[in-house]
Amino acid sequence: MKIFKTLKDLRQLQESNTHREIKRGLKREGHIEGYFVLIEEGDREFELPELSGDIATLSFDGVFKAQRHYHAIYLTNNSFGIEFVIPDAPWLKADIKANLERHLH
């Protein structure tokens, strides 16, 4: 799991589709306060200052899919959100994928 709050945080990733997706999100105009969390192979349970839980059971406020990535948004309140970026990769566990598909818009 990697956390991205600013464009400088992108140094954690090599140039890739994932890098471009998160960069695009960080540059998005009108984006609510919050940050991005990249879920990587083996990640399931997470502990963040605002939220902890299991990706397979978390109730997202919305999920969309772009460029072979799920973008799952969890709003902690009306002005702060956490956007989970999850690659639709062969390693993605069936129960996590099913939870994302349930919330897909």
Please report, in angstroms and rounded to a whole number, the separation of the first and last CA atoms in the chain.
24
Tokens 């099913």, located at residue: 98
Mean pLDDT of the chain: 93
Assign residue 48 a region: left if phi > 0, alpha if psi is -120 to 50, beta otherwise? Answer: beta
Residue 30: the pLDDT is 66
Helices and strands counted in the chain (H then E): 2, 7
- Domain boundaries along the sequence of the chain: 2-102
Rounded mean pLDDT of 62-85? 93
Confidence class for position 65, pLDDT limits 50, 70, 90: very high
Predicted TM-score (pTM) of the model is: 0.91
Share of the chain above pLDDT 90, in %: 79
Between CA 90 and CA 100 the distance in angstroms is 15
Q: Tens of pLDDT along 2-39?
A: 999 999 999 999 988 899 989 988 888 666 789 999 99
Q: Is residue 75 over pLDDT 80?
A: yes
